[in-house]
Homo-oligomer: A and B are copies of this chain.
């Protein structure tokens, strides 16, 4: 059995694993990356990229229809075949050769196969040519992400439901689609497939987008309903049955929902199966708990980066952690100082209160940091100020009958922004300003000098600052 040593072994070549490797190589380490599926991972092939590609054409068309003078030029409707074809171009037809080229270009050694931790600093990979043992001189980074969580509902597994993997790679638009779930993936895909012509029924146990400010999920539900989607909140399925081309769901209230396909988007769980974590005395069914340098407690050579640690299940946040992790692994290997203080280069501090997220629904939802509720639960003297985006000139110029809302969550003690949410068409790019304000801990009295250009939608910042009140205009409180 072949045995090879590397400074670092990364298990999982999704965007997080790729970035851990790249960063560590940048820091002078030799790195092996183990991958059992496509290099590039879920984000490239079965999540962000195909999902956004399915969404964007409908969004662009709605935006043109929303402006008098342009609307008359839009006589046709979306071309589903062209949308799917465009989606295929973003997933490179599920061929990872481009990503492999990139990864090998960094200097990493790609090992195709399923990796398992078989001892301290030891990973055994089941390759097509048999097992290979990799020895890590310094560290092993687990970056295997998450997998769909299939709830325990009678008949569900036998009904061959779609997961997000199936729906984002679908080669046809089903005539009707039932979706179980009320989170980001469920809402985005409901919106996308409604645009593409499916009759969509969304079945959510609670409200939509429940971790965000309540007005976000409400706005999404309202628009989905206006576009003909059946939105059933506070509802669960108790039984599922497939008969030929039809899936029938029995809801908790006894109602029946029929659809050609059923998407299960009820959350994710850590992809820990077969990793051999039990060998290390770790719980193989749970997220791996790490410190701010992404190191697993009690195992100074083991890192868990990205979704697998459960800190923030988002591509960009995984990459952020990856930069810290790859860098700190290299620093520790070289005996260089570790900068793991708050906001230090080796600490994923933003995970705790500055995680941004854009939901590409209709309307879009963009949020960062804490909701008003979450801030209160942390004991922050928080106040939420809101403003109707429709009252902003930039928004009404952007689209007729623009509907949207923005809020800031203010830490009244510190006089800073600790959270922000924007809901409305095309608000995605408004978010980063809030992310910088939160992360930079820029005082409100300084933010008054950050003038939004007129007439953009960003002018809502001015209105939100006005809503915080005169007290926060001065440094002399």
Contact = CB atoms under 8 A, between A and B. Distances in A.
Given A74-B75, A432-B433, 9 more contacts: A48-B454, A68-B86, A69-B79, A320-B451, A344-B474, A426-B429, A430-B432, A436-B436, A436-B437
A57 B52 contact: no
Contact of A68 (B85, B350, B447): B85
Contacts of A453: 314, 316, 356-358, 366, 428, 431-432, 435
13 contacts: A60-B399, A64-B64, A64-B74, A69-B80, A69-B83, A70-B78, A90-B397, A343-B475, A354-B451, A357-B453, A433-B436, A435-B453, A436-B450
Nearest to A445: B345
B454 A432 contact: no
A162 interface: no
Given A75-B73, A82-B72, A451 B64 contact: no
A168 to B, nearest CB: 13
Contacts of A398: 56
A342 B221 CA distance: 46
Interface residues of A, number: 95
A27 to B, nearest CB: 10
Contact of A73 (B67, B77, B355, B429): B77
Interface string A419-447: 00000001111111101111110100111
Contact of A452 (B58, B69, B432): B432
A313 interface: no
A456 interface: yes
Interface stretch (A98-106, A122-130, A237-245, A457-465): A457-465
A455 interface: yes
A473 interface: yes
Contacts of A445: 343, 345
Contacts of A317: 451
B60 A64 contact: yes
Given A397-B49, A439-B449, A70 B75 contact: no
Main secondary structure of the interface of A (DSSP, over half): helix
A349 B74 contact: no
Q: Within the oligomer, what is the number of copies of this chain?
A: 2
B452 A356 contact: yes
Given A356-B452, A397-B56, A449-B350, A316 B459 contact: yes
A224 to B, nearest CB: 20
A323 B345 CA distance: 38
A451 B57 contact: no
A456 B440 contact: no
Nearest to A339: B474
Nearest to A460: B432
A284 interface: no
Contacts of A439: 442, 446-447, 449-450
Interface of A: 43, 48-49, 52-53, 56-58, 60-61, 63-64, 66-80, 82-83, 85-86, 90, 314-317, 319-320, 323, 327, 337, 339, 343-345, 349-350, 354-358, 366, 393, 396-400, 426-433, 435-440, 442, 445-459, 461-462, 473-476
Chain A to chain B: the 7 pairs with minimum beta-carbon distance, closest first: A69-B83, A73-B76, A57-B69, A440-B442, A64-B64, A316-B454, A432-B433
A94 to B, nearest CB: 17
Contacts of A400: 86
A172 to B, nearest CB: 15
A332 to B, nearest CB: 15
Most chain B CB atoms below 10 A, which of A57, A85, A475: A57
Given A76-B72, A345-B448, A393 B57 contact: no
A429 to B, nearest CB: 4
Contacts of A79: 69-70, 72-73
Given A64-B63, A68-B86, A474-B339, A454 B56 contact: no
Contacts of A354: 449-451
B452 A53 contact: no
Given A68-B82, A397-B90, A435 B457 contact: no
A377 B314 CA distance: 42
B70 A73 contact: no
